[in-house]
Amino acid sequence: MRYYSTNNRSKYVSLHDAVVNGLAEDRGLYMPEKINRLPEEFFKNIDKMSFQEISFEVAKAFFSDDVDEKSLKDIVYDTLSFDCPVKKVCDDIWTLELFHGPTLAFKDVGARFMARLLEYFIRQEAHQIVNVLVATSGDTGSAVANGFLGVDGIHVYVLYPKGKVSKIQECQFTTLGRNITAIEIDGVFDDCQSLVKSAFMDGDLNKHMKLTSANSINVARFLPQAFYYFNAYARMKANGLAENLVMCVPSGNFGNITAGLFAREMGLPIRRFIAANNANNIFYNYLKTGVYEPKPSVQTIANAMDVGDPSNFARIYDLYNGSHDKISSIISGATYTDDEIKAAVKQCYKDNGYILDPHGACGYQALKDNLKKGETGVFCETAHPAKFKDTIENIINTEIEIPQRLSNFMKGKKQTVELSNKFDDFKTFLLGQ
Ligand SMILES: *Cc1c(COP(=O)(O)O)cnc(C)c1O
């Protein structure tokens, strides 16, 4: 299958190029040239299939032209080494827990899938080593580092702002070693991001080494998230509750929800979506006014959604040919302040005994506020609450147990390279690699 750029629908690249380039040359996002619908038979029997079996069928619909069946199956089954169960929270509201992967965040699936797909391409071509640069304020770095850990032919450099990432998050990418190098930048997240951007544009560096990005705009990271929605539908069908399903997605860059919209275009019977935002309400405003107006992001307790210009908006816009009517008929919005998020965490724990994380709390509350009679709502719980231990414990006055997987990271030895926020220092370091 070929991929076009959201900025130019008439120019195509291969899956290989879309994955290695990340972003199109014209700064657009890659889109698959077609979205294959899955047969009715598949949906009839989906409730009897495992998460892995379902995902393999979905993966084939996108990738079977470019990846042989055996390798694709291998990649899918290796990526999904854990389940994402649905659980009833209250009345008509269920949660889809996406946090059972290696770093307890939903980004694990996309990161691992991308790592294995890139490895597949590198093997085929006897490629030189590919170097992945990623800037992080926490969650992305840990998912990418763990997804790429030990993958042949790829080296990952994670740049993060010194002293500005929580200890729990930091240890998930600084203790790994092997093909993962953590770089502590004396600066803020924006410095890390601009260092990465400058590196991609630097002629000397690109001659010296093959560079690519692993951020959430990459098709190989974003598309596999469609698996989640098929799985949610299957598990709800097994519960006899697949009619009038509403999926509610805590959203920042809108990659996760866009993958859900792709699933719907593949024939998955999701009635509608809700995009739950924190105080960064750009999409919410777009739905209201029809005008997309990016703003600088504001800091919130649901910090993985602190995005002022959601990159996947371009994909949603393209998917529906820019029709605001169409977009707002399928997706509705919600936006919550930190105080409202805290209140949701508190109330949900009191009423249902279920501990939300700050991102999932936006999803839960958006269903509480927007679900209509006859609908069943499923919100994505995108991270384990223990990743936001202090914040959540302060709200519910109860200690949260740290899962084994997280505490194992905390036992590891921190290994980092310390650099200033000057591009020359970063460049000299990379040229020495
Ligand atoms: C990245 C992230 C989000 C936002 O997902 P998008 O695909 O960027 O919309 C939500 N919650 C958590 C915990 C995340 O890490």
pLDDT tens, per residue, the chain with 433 residues: 999 999 999 999 999 999 988 889 898 999 999 999 999 999 999 999 999 999 999 999 999 999 999 999 999 999 999 999 999 999 999 999 999 999 998 999 999 999 999 999 988 876 688 999 999 987 889 999 999 999 989 999 999 999 988 888 899 999 999 999 999 999 988 899 889 989 988 999 999 999 988 878 899 999 999 999 999 999 999 999 999 999 999 999 999 999 999 999 999 999 999 999 999 999 999 999 999 999 988 999 998 899 999 999 999 999 999 999 999 999 999 999 999 999 999 999 999 999 999 999 999 999 999 999 999 999 999 999 999 999 999 999 999 999 998 889 989 999 999 999 999 999 999 999 9
- Same fold for the pair 40-106+222-396 and 108-220+410-431: yes
- The number of the ligand 1 atom at minimal distance from the alpha carbon of 253 is 8
Pocket test for ligand 1, best of 253, 280, 331 (most atoms within 8 A of CB): 253
Ligand 1 centroid from CA 69, angstroms: 30
State whether residue 275 is helix, strand or coil: strand
Nearest to 186 by CA among 195, 177, 178: 195
Q: Report the alpha-carbon angle 149-96-221, nearest 5.
A: 35
Nearest to 85 by CA among 99, 102, 97: 97
Ligand 1 centroid from CA 70, angstroms: 31
pLDDT value of residue 14: 96
Question: Can you list the alpha helix ranges (DSSP code H) found in 239-357?
Answer: 255-265, 282-289, 313-319, 324-330, 338-352
Residues in contact with ligand 1 by the CB-under-6-Å rule are 105, 107, 139, 216, 250-256, 304-305, 359, 382-383
pLDDT value of residue 383: 93
Residues labelled catalytic: 107
- The number of the ligand 1 atom at minimal distance from the alpha carbon of 387 is 13
pLDDT value of residue 127: 66
Ligand 1 centroid from CA 307, angstroms: 10
Name which residue sits closest to atom 8 of ligand 1, judged by CA: 253
Measure the CA–CA gap between 324 and 311, rounded to whole angstroms.
17
CATH T-level topology, domain 108-220+410-431: Rossmann fold (3.40.50)
Q: Report the alpha-carbon angle 231-274-287, nearest 5.
A: 145
The length of the chain is: 433
Query: In the structure encoding, which two tokens stand for residue 370, read together?
Result: 């927007």
**Structure letter (DSSP) for residue 356:** P
pLDDT value of residue 345: 98
Give long-range contacts, CB 8 A cutoff, 24+ apart: 348-351: 348/89, 348/90, 349/395, 349/396, 349/398, 351/90
Domain boundaries, the chain: 40-106+222-396, 108-220+410-431
Strands 8-13 and 3-5: antiparallel
Query: Residues with Cβ < 8 Å from 64, sequence gap 6 or more?
Result: 72
Ligand 1 centroid from CA 383, angstroms: 8
Measure the CA–CA gap between 277 and 78, rounded to whole angstroms.
32
Q: CATH classification of 40-106+222-396 is 3.40.50.1100, yes or no? A: yes
Query: In the structure encoding, which two tokens stand for residue 76, read together?
Result: 């899918």
Q: Which amino acid is at 313?
A: F
Measure the CA–CA gap between 418 and 136, rounded to whole angstroms.
15
